[in-house]
Amino acid sequence: MTEEARRLWTRTSMHAAVAAALLAFAQVSVYPRVPAAGAVAVGLGAATMLFAGLTRARPRFRPTRWRANRLIARGAFYTLRSASEEVAWRWFLLGSLIPAVGMPGAFAASTAGFAVAHAGSRPGRTVAIHACTGGIFGGVFLATGSLLAAVVAHGGYNLLVLLAVESDRVGEAREGSSGESAGRDPPPVVALRGVSKRYRSTEALRDVDLELRVGEVVALLGANGAGKTTAISVLLGLRRPDSGSARLFGLDPRLPSARRRIGVTPQELGFPSTLTVAEIIDFVRAHFPEPEPTEELIRRFGLEDVRDRQAGGLSGGQRRRLSVALAFAPNPAVMFLDEPTTGLDVTSRLAVWDAIRAFGAGGGTVLLTTHNLGEAEALAERVIVMSEGQVIADASLEEIKSHAGLRRIRLRSQPLPRLANVQRFVDEGDRRVLYATEVGHVVEELVRAEADLDELEVLPVSLEEAFIALTGGRP
């Protein structure tokens, strides 16, 4: 158990002891008006409606993302804390104040006290949300006269939030807020909305919108200076946008709580030269609550032979494999990989590709930047192309290729007349490849020119060819 967890359990246990004493000795003026079964039903209904209302989404969960031990521990914690708070705020304070100030005054005082007590680090937003939740719990208590109904409503709501967070369904439920999901299904785990960023006279980003959802592997492409690095820096909380907003799991990426579930491989990463590979991995793992095992990372990325070697003695390829291993170390939900296989041999590159594919297949989200368009084509389900600080294309691989407006026509190499719809051609041994916009018209012209069409093929362009057509340059 971490020091933070011990502190929370100790404080909550003290609250529970005080609540038990209140139940045993305090006298209040509110008495049950519904049976226990009815109280439980009312509490569960209130919890569900409150959760759906605050998150603005149906309570939908992904059990495959849950860890039983963590759910049990956190569920027990939230249940105990919810029960203790309801005894103090509703049963005792609200019930004791009614004879003195009347029901409206007692309700207002207990709700305001509950909200202020939960102010946290963002008092304005948090107080408003807890005023809403406290008002609902107080209303359930007054309507039923049952402490059990209030406890079930409070505890049920907290458990729904816990399950949603474990499912990666409601990014801001961790902070107890309503989030920005706005009914999206599933909500984006990574988002830029109308983001602009300028460095003196250079406009690095211009009104950029970008979203990634759970389980997507997305390639972010663009020529040098297109704005890719700035976009990722904003998403990681390393740069503040001049306008617009960035979100990680629905939170501001500058908040530590937003960055606990991400892995990052930057293009350049320095290591302490005297630490060994295993020590560096252990050091990074120590910053996260449920990291991947060190030995598993060493095995997965082929670092067994250099496990005990100091970082200063690693080759470029070994340093890159270590850098990628560190991105997986936090056991993240989202990874940002900037040129992850630069400098790797074929075997190491394929091992990294397999790890990225497995991560995506397991529900992880990846944003990959690469100048190797074959790598993007091998890994990504979706491609975002940036040029001069703007997103100029965002679609599936096949859609990106079709956006370029080109098709390839392969036929035997032979003299051909000038063809109106052919933008360029390339000779590949005994084959000539024509890049055309209107394939039907080109074939008609070839027929009229009596060209040899025995082995004619019409093919889509590659990702690299589509990229060149879209941007007018090379990656």
Are 206 and 102 in a shared domain?
A: no
Q: DSSP code of 310?
A: B
Q: Is the confidence at residue 425, as pLDDT, over 70?
A: yes
Q: Is residue 129 part of a domain?
A: yes
Q: Is residue 180 part of a domain?
A: no
**pLDDT at res. 297:** 94
End-to-end CA distance of the chain: 48
> Rounded distance, CA 240 to CA 4, Å?
29
Residue 413's pLDDT band (cuts 50, 70, 90): confident
Are 275 and 357 in a shared domain?
A: yes
Are 313 and 192 in a shared domain?
A: yes
> Rounded distance, CA 132 to CA 2, Å?
32
Residue 61's pLDDT band (cuts 50, 70, 90): low
Q: Is residue 441 part of a domain?
A: yes
CA neighbor of 180 nearest in space, from 217, 259, 226, 125:
125
Instruction: Please write the tens of the pLDDT for every residue from 241-259.
Output: 999 999 999 889 998 888 8
Are 440 and 423 in a shared domain?
A: yes
Polymer length in residues for the chain:
475
Are 196 and 145 in a shared domain?
A: no
Domain of 125 in residue numbering reads as: 3-175
Residue 59 to residues 48, 133, 196, 240, 321: CA-CA distances in angstroms?
8, 17, 34, 33, 40
Residue 171's pLDDT band (cuts 50, 70, 90): very low
Q: Is residue 163 part of a domain?
A: yes
What's the structural domain count of the chain? 3
pTM (2 d.p.):
0.54
What's 328's domain CATH number?
A: 3.40.50.300
Instruction: Please write the tens of the pLDDT for every residue from 98-114.
Output: 888 888 998 999 889 88
Instruction: Please write the tens of the pLDDT for every residue from 345-399.
Output: 888 889 999 999 989 888 899 999 988 777 888 898 888 888 889 888 887 777 7
